Amino acid sequence: MMGEPTVMQEALFYEFSIERHVPADHLLRSIDRFVDLSGLRSHLRPFYSEIGRPSIDPELMIRMLIVGYCFGIRSERRLCEEVHLNLAYRWFCRLGLEGDVPDHSTFSKNRHGRFRDSDLLRELFETTVRRCIEEGLGGNEGFAVDASLIRADANKQRSAEGSEQVDWETMAATRRSVQEYLDTLDDAAWGAASEVKPKFISRSDPAAQWTGAMKGHAFFAYATNYLIDLDHAVIVDVEASRAIRQAEVGAARTMIDRAQDRFGLYPERLAADSAYGSAEMLGWLVHERGIEPHIPVFDKSERRDGTFERAEFSYDRERDLYTCPGGKELRQYRRRFASPRDGVDDEGFMRYRASKLDCDVWPSSLDAVRTVQPARSYALSTRGARDMARDIAATDAYVTSRRERKKVEMLFAHLKRILKLDRLRLRGPNGARDEFHLAATAQNLRKLAKLIPVPMPKPA
């Protein structure tokens, strides 16, 4: 006979354990081993009042944010619903069955207030990096750096042209993102990165860069910059910047310095693409940091005006001079000085010049093909660093570094496809930093969970 539905009766007592209902192979079980929030309250204590009613536990909110970014739950409203219903999420957040989930508006108040003032999310990210180093997943041998564009929460319809006069000071009184834009105008990774005015500026998020770098429709974007360890692809540092090459190069230098100061990491080599192969960047890596640049040289020496190209000059290290295709010598100085000079001019260049007599009297057979530069000079700022980068590019180690550098691109793909961070929800430079820090924290925790196996229980 057909069964009838049973009438659910409320029991007086229940015996239920969340611990037994969370699978042993669940991702959160592996991640929970590496989440250390022991110093969170002491870090936040100066930002809380000594009187008044108790606030919502900050550790609960941080654990909820970790869950959201690990599983690609971008909406805080939806995150609260998922934590309310999912037993594994409740277990990770230490809520139990009867614990109340905070309202989604609480995240906004704390994120724009205590969390940002105390730089808590940065501290959370660095805690995961230290744990990776303790587990043997971080080293000093090789690093890679790269940047990826993330769409900003802005559109063209509410933008202004770059040449248009906008009263940003008045708008800053009511819009947090505009005030952050004004505060970062002198920063090397933001306003001071380039003097070129963008074609459009968003009124809702003016720090976002209008860019067409994706070879499609242009859009407003920020750049997330990763510095990773080449052995295990651990994110050693992350930085937000404008979506232009100069800002990304500046962010790379900031991350290298910070990795040394915070963690004592000093890489032997750095792998990157040609965007980081400028003379200034190569000179900084080689002469100031002693890092081998496994980077293609950013070379714009190709000439179309009939003048000589850089590759056509040969350098004599012993005599410290260049020789042009016509066999003429280019020197820094043509007379001796009582006190030696370093040869660097006010612009930071070392200039090698040819004699005017050599340039005026040119073989007719070559004159029909090439002419000499009017200034008769060949300017170099970091000759040794660029030559070193070119020499490294011919080695097998460079081929290995180029192959390993793809790990940072895989992290960006994981960031956008798995963690769903292809468009920002928060506005302003600080909002971009918050999201990038949380996403990098989630990726490092997932890396730890994947590479460090769960210890087997000991038999009784």
Could you list the pLDDT tens digit for every one of the 460 residues in the chain? 565 665 656 655 667 788 888 888 899 999 999 998 988 888 888 888 888 888 888 899 999 999 999 999 988 999 999 999 999 999 999 998 888 898 888 888 888 888 888 899 999 999 999 999 999 887 778 999 999 999 999 988 888 888 888 888 888 888 888 898 888 888 888 888 888 888 889 999 999 999 988 778 899 999 999 999 999 999 999 999 999 999 999 999 999 999 999 999 988 999 999 999 988 889 899 888 899 999 998 766 556 656 666 667 777 777 777 787 777 777 777 777 777 776 666 655 677 777 767 666 555 434 433 333 433 444 454 567 888 888 899 999 999 999 999 999 999 999 999 999 999 999 999 999 999 999 999 999 999 999 988 776 666 5
Torsion of CA 177, 180, 184, 189, to 10 degrees: -50
Domain of residue 269, CATH code: 3.30.420.10
**148 and 280 assigned to the same domain:** yes
**150 and 264 assigned to the same domain:** yes
Per-residue pLDDT tens over the stretch 30-78: 999 999 898 888 888 888 888 888 888 889 999 999 999 999 998 899 9
Dihedral sign computed on CA atoms, order 436, 437, 439, 444: positive
Instruction: Select from 160, 152, 157 the least CA-distant residue to 220.
Output: 152
Cβ–Cβ under 8 Å, residues 323 and 421: no
Per-residue pLDDT tens over the stretch 249-298: 999 999 999 999 999 998 899 999 999 998 888 989 988 889 999 999 87
**210 and 331 assigned to the same domain:** no
**402 and 363 assigned to the same domain:** no
Please state the domain count of the chain: 3
Q: What is the pTM of this model?
A: 0.83
**171 and 276 assigned to the same domain:** yes
**279 and 369 assigned to the same domain:** no
Q: Which residues pair with 270 in a beta bridge?
A: 143, 293
388 lies in some domain: no
Domain stops at, among 346, 380, 414: 380
Residue 366, domain extent: 310-380
Domain stops at, among 95, 118, 141: 118
